[in-house]
């Protein structure tokens, strides 16, 4: 066995120790905690929201409703934390997923795009510059799909003809039910005790007190509007490729690779290389879009 010299051995042992410490964090419990806070704050926000006048409803929630700004911030940020903690949780327990059946694996992986769709529809429902442009881009991408594009758009968005009614229904009912169905086997096995996670709850509450959820009112003369943070790379890709390729084919290839990354897949090494390269490429595109 090759022994590293002392000057190198210490940094490597420190990295290994810190990585183990990160893995030992209860990321799954943190994700569930953020999810519960998102649901509860979402109920408060939903009681004040009017999808017929989304921009006015969002501004009124921030300015007029008692503690409205806090609850909207709490709903916004805990939803983002839910997605991020879920992704880290998957990485931390990846080797343990070998015991899952293919069906269980596919259902669990399916929760990630569902959470992203929930985040995305939440951005659209704000009714501000960012939300409106993101909704129109999404509708344009779906309509570019041959044969089934119009049917899918009528099912999911149809913003141009029906406003935000369908987006609102999917955000508060449809996508939530699908997420519950996909994650049910996981949720009924793994329970959390809120009192064990009071520090992370406190941090999320304090964060939402001092940091407001974004809202971009209409501004004259603005020719470029950045989308949601997870949408920036796709938005940049649309500058160089047609909507079908940039918005459907390339994300579809990434999702196919992600769903194929089952730990016992004999092509796992190649799949992980594709996923890693895709994430690096998307990060670069997102950075370019963010700096515009």
- Any domain includes 89: yes
What percent of the chain is predicted at pLDDT more than 90? 62
3-class DSSP assignment, residue 198: helix
Residue 37: what pLDDT? 96
Give the model confidence (pLDDT) of 120-162 as tens digits.
999 999 988 888 888 988 999 999 999 999 999 999 998 988 8
Q: Which residues of 262-275 are buried (b: 16+ CB within 10 A; e: fewer)?
A: beeeeeeeebeebe
> Does 7 score more than 60 pLDDT?
no
> Does 222 score more than 80 pLDDT?
no
Two tokens at 198?
A: 């009071």
> Does 20 score more than 80 pLDDT?
no
> Does 253 score more than 90 pLDDT?
yes
Residue 11: what pLDDT? 45
- Any domain includes 57: yes
Residue 224: what pLDDT? 63
- Any domain includes 77: yes
Rounded mean pLDDT, 114-118: 96
C-alpha 200/C-alpha 8 separation (Å) is 35
Give yes or no for a contact between 192 and 29, defined as CB atoms under 8 angstroms apart: yes
Average pLDDT, the chain: 87
C-alpha 241/C-alpha 248 separation (Å) is 11
> Does 1 score more than 60 pLDDT?
no
Tell me which DSSP letter residue 245 carries: I
Q: Which residues of 216-225 are buried (b: 16+ CB within 10 A; e: fewer)?
A: beeeeeeeeb
Give the model confidence (pLDDT) of 206-217 as tens digits.
999 999 999 887
What percent of the chain is predicted at pLDDT more than 70? 89
> Does 5 score more than 70 pLDDT?
no
- Any domain includes 251: no
- Any domain includes 138: no
Closest alpha carbon to 114 in 169, 164, 175: 175
Domain CATH for 39: 1.20.810.10
In this structure, the number of other CB atoms found within 10 A of the CB of residue 154 comes to: 13
Among the ranges given (47-56, 128-137, 244-253, 265-274), the one the predictor scored with the smallest mean pLDDT = 128-137
- Any domain includes 150: no
> Does 72 score more than 90 pLDDT?
yes
Measured at the CA of 120, the angle between CA 117 and CA 123, to 5 degrees, comes to: 155
Containing structural domain, residue 122 = 26-127+164-211
> Does 221 score more than 80 pLDDT?
no
Closest alpha carbon to 85 in 13, 37, 155, 137: 37
> Does 273 score more than 70 pLDDT?
yes
- Any domain includes 237: no
C-alpha 285/C-alpha 40 separation (Å) is 35
Give the model confidence (pLDDT) of 167-217 as tens digits.
999 999 999 999 999 998 888 877 788 888 899 999 999 999 999 999 887
Query: pTM to 2 decimals?
Result: 0.87
Residue 96: what pLDDT? 86
Q: Which residues of 166-189 are buried (b: 16+ CB within 10 A; e: fewer)?
A: bbbebbbebbeebbeebbeeeeee
Looking at the structure of the chain, the number of domains it has is: 1
Q: Tell me how far apart the terminal alpha carbons of the chain are, to the nearest angstrom.
A: 51
> Does 270 score more than 80 pLDDT?
yes
C-alpha 214/C-alpha 2 separation (Å) is 53
- Any domain includes 187: yes
Rounded mean pLDDT, 102-131: 92
3-class DSSP assignment, residue 237: helix
């Amino acid at each position: 066995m090759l022994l590293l010299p002392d000057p190198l051995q210490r940094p490597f042992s420190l990295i290994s120790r810190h990585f183990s410490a990160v893995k030992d964090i209860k990321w799954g419990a943190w994700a569930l905690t953020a999810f519960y806070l998102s649901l509860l704050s979402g109920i408060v926000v939903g009681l004040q929201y009017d999808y017929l006048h989304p921009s006015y409803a969002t501004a009124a929630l921030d300015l007029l409703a008692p503690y409205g700004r806090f609850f909207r911030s709490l709903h916004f940020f805990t939803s983002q934390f839910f997605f991020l903690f879920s992704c880290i949780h998957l990485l931390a327990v990846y080797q343990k997923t070998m015991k899952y059946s293919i069906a269980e694996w596919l259902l669990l992986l399916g929760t990630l795009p569902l959470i992203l769709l929930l985040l995305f529809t939440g951005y659209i429902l704000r009714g501000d510059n960012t939300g409106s442009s993101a909704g129109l881009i999404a509708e344009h991408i779906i309509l570019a799909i041959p044969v089934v594009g119009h049917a899918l758009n009528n099912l999911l968005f149809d913003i141009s003809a029906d406003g935000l009614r369908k987006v609102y229904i999917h955000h508060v009912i449809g996508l939530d039910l699908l997420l519950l169905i996909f994650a049910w086997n996981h949720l009924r096995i793994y329970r959390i005790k809120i009192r064990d996670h009071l520090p992370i709850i406190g941090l999320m509450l304090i964060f939402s007190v001092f940091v407001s959820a974004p809202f971009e009112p209409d501004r004259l003369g603005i020719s470029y509007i950045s989308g949601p943070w997870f949408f920036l790379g796709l938005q940049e890709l649309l500058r160089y490729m047609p909507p079908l390729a940039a918005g459907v084919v390339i994300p579809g290839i990434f999702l196919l690779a992600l769903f194929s990354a089952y730990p016992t897949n004999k092509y796992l090494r190649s799949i992980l290389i594709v996923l890693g390269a895709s994430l690096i490429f998307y990060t670069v595109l997102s950075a370019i879009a963010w700096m515009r």
